[in-house]
Structure 1
């Protein structure tokens, strides 16, 4: 059963984002950079795809949040991501980290560790395989994809959240969010989100938007995941094929409202 007070807070945060129009600096992968920019705009945020090493430190100071995605990590991106996270720590700017393929490519873990050592991370958003890997557990991955089911996922999230003192989001057939004390499982969504490139990256960007406008990062992460999943359900009702679905997904993100989240949200609070 939903905790209406928490669901009300989640829904209200959508309106607050649109009022604040947070500026989200994105250092993200080249496969989905345009998707991330457009979904932030549709959501009501302002994207800035600033990743040049000589620019990121100062640009973070202007931003409401920083989103780091290590999916197609170039050497300049690597150094820029670490430097930007240092600036975020110094200037109290929230950071969302998307550890794409960290379980498949060892170099990514070393970059993630540098970000945690030198900078800050407020929200980690990954698939279940990536989260289990970061929690120090055996995980099944294939490139950027997780082969894990939901068994033990929430427990892994809680361990990682307590270890790193941040909010953890694990996506799968059921999505889990926790700050180590409060937890939520979201049962909205559609399998069609796995049939288009960039749904995970776009969700990471939405987490950045919410982190930049909502003080409670647990509520922020729940709002981002719930928004993506409800928009996905609405898009799938209108489009049963991937190409049209992706266009409709953007439309439904744009049309989200407090009322829709409260009426359709399937959140189990734990």
Structure 2
């Protein structure tokens, strides 16, 4: 049985290891992703140049690929980086932003899986439902899908790609195809700041770079984000101040806060 003790220990491992997380992410939230990684105890590198990514991946502890503002160089870079990660056994976190709205994204995702191996897929419920072959209700990069059927979609993808899959929403669903968790911590204020999902993907990279069990690592990263969001909302009731306090709350996280505050249903 998975426990909050095991999940909370991931935070200590991150701060002990200070994992180098190679991020190829969208340009809207690149600064927030870097800062939240630093606050979490990781070391961010926002390296996306095609001529550099192959070599940089092999010195990293994790690769985070976010398809949010995918330009042509990023497209070639993420494919090359994914190939390098497979060669050098570096864990990969894929954030399939807007895959349900923009068909080109699926072509890139398929290419990533052809040349590499993804360890964690982290998306919103609409993106995960779409990748699982279901109808998805989306508005651009945002999901309008509810929680119903989200865990089944995660399990379908986890088994298809032999990886951990997480669908974020009012509840968060995580599975590796055998073990599953539903996280019920949340605050709606996370939907009022740009890039909360991108920052969450970056945290998954930090956890995956420091902890061998990718299912537990993903649970830890998502629980960290949600508890930090709840903590931030206690002091910041508007989006601007909340965004700043969110990063502060990530920095102020402790194992005790995760253990005492975590609301997880294990399946």
Taking structure 1 as the reference length, what is the TM-score of the superposition?
A: 0.98
CA distance in 1, matches of 2:149, 2:102: 23
Q: How does 1:154-173 map to 2 (within 5 A)?
A: 154-173=151-170
Q: How does 1:92-241 map to 2 (within 5 A)?
A: 92-241=89-238
Quote how far apart the aligned CAs of 1:153 are. Answer: 0.6
CA distance in 2, matches of 1:16, 1:126: 24
* Partner residue of 2:56 out of 56, 59, 63: 59
Residue matched to 2:68: 71
Residue matched to 2:3: 6
Quote how far apart the aligned CAs of 1:12 are. Answer: 0.6
CA distance in 1, matches of 2:128, 2:122: 8
Quote how far apart the aligned CAs of 1:142 are. Answer: 0.7
Residue matched to 1:82: 79
Quote how far apart the aligned CAs of 1:6 are. Answer: 2.1
SS of aligned partner of 2:70? coil
SS of aligned partner of 1:62? coil
Deviation track 1:46-92 (CA, whole Å, cap 9, x = no partner) reads 00000000000000010000000000001000000000000000000
Residue matched to 2:35: 38
Gaps of 5+ in 1: none
CA distance in 2, matches of 1:67, 1:156: 22
Deviation track 1:103-129 (CA, whole Å, cap 9, x = no partner) reads 000000100000011111000000000
CA distance in 2, matches of 1:155, 1:244: 36
Residue matched to 1:261: 258
Gaps of 5+ in 2: none
Residue matched to 2:25: 28
Q: How many residues align?
A: 267
CA distance in 1, matches of 2:85, 2:3: 28
CA distance in 1, matches of 2:213, 2:32: 26
Deviating above 4 A after TM superposition, structure 1's stretches of 4 or more consecutive aligned residues are none
SS of aligned partner of 1:212? helix
Quote how far apart the aligned CAs of 1:7 are. Answer: 1.2
Residue matched to 2:245: 248
